[in-house]
Amino acid sequence: MPDNFNMSMRKFLKQVGVTSQQAIEEAMREADTAGKTFEVKAVVEIKDLGLNHVVTGHITGEE
Cβ atoms of 24 and 40 closer than 8 Å: yes
Cβ atoms of 45 and 54 closer than 8 Å: no
Provide the number of structural domains found in the chain.
Answer: 1
The DSSP output letter for 53 is E
In the predicted structure, residue 62 carries a pLDDT above the cut 90 = no
In the predicted structure, residue 55 carries a pLDDT above the cut 90 = yes
Cβ atoms of 63 and 35 closer than 8 Å: yes
Backbone angles phi, psi at 31, to 5 degrees: -125, 165
pLDDT tens, position by position, 2-45: 889 999 999 999 999 999 999 999 999 999 999 999 999 999 99
User: What is the pLDDT, as a whole number, of residue 40?
Assistant: 98
Q: Give the domain range for residue 36.
A: 3-60
Q: Residue 39: beta bridge partners?
A: 58
CA 58 to chain centre: 12
59 falls in which pLDDT band (50, 70, 90)?
very high
